Amino acid sequence: MQKQGFNPYMPSWEYVPDGEPHVFGDRIYVYGSHDKFHGHAFCLNDYVCYSASVTDLKDWKYEGIIYGRCDDPQNEDGEGCLYAPDVCQGADGRYYLYYFFGGFARVGVAVCDTPAGRYQFYGYVHYEDGVIFGEKPGDMIADPAVLAEGDKVYLYTGFCAPDDKTAAGAKVTVLKSDMLTVAEESRTIVPSASHSAGTGYEGHEFFEASSIRKVKDTYYYVYSSIWMHELCYATSASPVENFVFGGTIISNVDLGIGTYKSPERRMAYPNNNHGGMELINGQWYIFYHRHTNGHSFSRQACMEPMEILPDGRIPQVEITSCGSNGGPLKGEGFYPGYLACNLYSKNEPIQGVTSFGKNVDARFPYITQDEPDGVECLGYVCYLESGSGAGYKYFECKNTRLVQVQIRGICNGNVLVKTAPEGCCIGTFSVKETNKWKIYETDIAIPDGVQALYFEYQGNGFISLNGFTLLSSQQK
């Protein structure tokens, strides 16, 4: 079958959150943190890069390690973890990687002659008197985002816990053309929760995850709000002031989306989000991440097409399984379980900020894998108990039938197949306890048109879903 584009768009055994996409030449490069599968903390691995042709987002290339945790002279023992980075091209044509370590009060910079080569340590952002940026009161170093324009570099940083009254909000700091030296003092551009009264940001205040783009004459600042799961945006005619709240671009639980379920229903477990927007071959995309393995520390890269309206607004985007495909997936072939974009339980996931580490509700379904970190293997949906479901969106169906489903689990019950989480059942099949992946043969007709597929378990125990096979009229 012809290659298709999925979410996550990287291999299912790869965990690259906080993705910052940039087009350099004829390729799109994604720079992000690098989580470890089943890790005990965020960002335990070295920085890697993935790229694709701007004309083919279905075929992503692994570029390898571009910067290692021990490449920074202050972290030669590997004690610190490399958090969310960004890259920009300097006036000299070289590429500059901005990053920071948790526990280190500084923004590091590395440089490379090519977008995805091995970056070399260049220095730390600092003031003209040599004091390291991050060591003065009020300095913000978290999640650096950068935009180079002429002889200036705009560095956006910030982390503001909702209950931290000392943090005013996201900040921008202007650097000189050497990419390191502070030229202008930092300014607050988007308020934190404790400083938002009367600003228009109430309910969507800044938490973390800075990202910046210029669209014609307007600067779009993308950030994660205090709800963590949503990426919001603000706009201004200036890169350093007068940003006005615009709205929510995407939520990795689809809160606010009412096209296929009620707007207030959350279709995954709420947790953090980080990403950026980029124009690729005439189409805008928003990049974000999802959570796997039932905790915060194994996140995966996803993307969806988005639209900037003539008046500058961005309508909220729905999360899908086919974000990089340019449209629905074919209504034929085998689809692995890890492509689920929606996971739900009979118990509604808690709204808002969850604890880092293990999910508050350990009985919520999640994506996982059987092999350890770095081993090539397909992921699957784990722990679908009675009332829980996994959803896949979308497929182009024409005389399409669901013919096989691969399941294992300690179970005795039925799997209901739906085209919407709140919709009617279009077919069922019975499952029984097995500790191996078992193929259940079935024959369920799917209505013609663009459809979603939901697998909801009803019964005792729980099941895991490894994948399913569709058969179209063309294959009969």
> Does 7 map to a domain?
no
**Are residues 216 and 345 located together in one domain of the fold?**
no
Residues 232 and 343 in one domain: no
The helix or strand, by DSSP H or E, that contains position 234, with its residue range, turns out to be strand 230-236
Q: Which of 273, 290, 325 is the last residue of a domain?
A: 325
The pLDDT of residue 474: 61
Q: To the nearest whole number, what is the mean pLDDT of the chain? A: 94
User: Is 18 annotated in the active site?
Assistant: yes
Q: What is the pLDDT of residue 2?
A: 67
Q: How confident is the model at residue 130 (pLDDT cuts 50, 70, 90)?
A: very high
Using the 8-state DSSP alphabet, how is residue 130 labeled? S
Residue 443 domain-assigned (yes or no)? yes
pLDDT tens, 330-351?
Answer: 999 999 999 999 999 987 665 4
Is the CB of residue 347 less than 8 Å from the CB of residue 413? Answer: no
Residues 291, 245 within the same domain:
yes
Question: Of the candidates 325, 344, 376, which is a domain's last residue?
Answer: 325
Longest dimension (CA), the chain: 74
CATH classification at residue 264: 2.115.10.20
Report the pLDDT value the prediction gives residue 103, as an integer from 0 to 100: 79
315 with 344, same domain: the answer is no
Percentage of the chain with pLDDT > 90? 92
2 in a domain, yes or no?
no
The residue from 208, 254, 318, 332 that is catalytic is 208
Region 108-127: mean pLDDT is 98
Whether residues 245 and 123 fall in one domain: yes
314 and 425 within one domain: no
280 and 354, same domain (yes or no):
no
Q: Would you list the DSSP string of 333-385?
A: EEEEGGG--EEE-SSPPPSS---SSB-SSTTS-EEE-SSPTT-----EEEEEE
3-state secondary structure of 29: strand
Query: Would residue 12 count as lying in a domain?
Result: no
* 15 falls within a domain: no
Same-domain pairing of 335 and 273: no
- Does a structural domain hold residue 1? no
* 395-409 residue pLDDT tens: 999 999 999 999 999
Angstrom distance (rounded) from CA 173 to CA 140: 9
Same domain for 349 and 310? no
Evaluate the CA torsion angle 88, 8, 451, 269 in order and state its sign: negative
CATH of residue 431's domain is 2.60.120.260
For 393, other C-beta atoms within 10 Å of its C-beta total: 28
Q: Which two tokens stand for residue 100?
A: 């920071």
Catalytic status, residue 113: no
Would you say residue 390 has pLDDT above 60?
yes
The string of DSSP letters for 306-345 reads E---TTS--PPBPP-S-TTTTSPEESSEEEEGGG--EEE-
Predicted local confidence at residue 353, as pLDDT: 38
What average pLDDT does the segment 2-20 reach? 96
Give the end of a domain, one of 325, 354, 373: 325
Q: What is the mean pLDDT of residues 353-381?
A: 78
Do residues 8 and 17 touch, judged by C-beta distance below 8 A? Answer: no
> What is the total count of domains within the chain?
2
Predicted confidence (pLDDT) at residue 72 exceeds the cutoff of 70: yes
Specify whether 318 is located in the same domain as 208. yes
The residue range of the domain holding 374 is 330-475
| Residues contacting residue 199 through CB under 8 Å, at least 6 positions apart | 191, 245
Among 274, 343, 320, CA closest to 17: 274
Does 239 have pLDDT greater than 70? yes
pLDDT at 350: 55
- Are 320 and 343 members of one domain? no
Which has the closest alpha carbon to 230: 251, 207, 209? Answer: 251
Check: pTM over 0.85? Answer yes or no: yes
Same domain, 368 and 408: yes
Query: 26 lies in a domain?
Result: yes
Q: What is the pLDDT of residue 104?
A: 86
411 within a domain of the structure (yes/no): yes
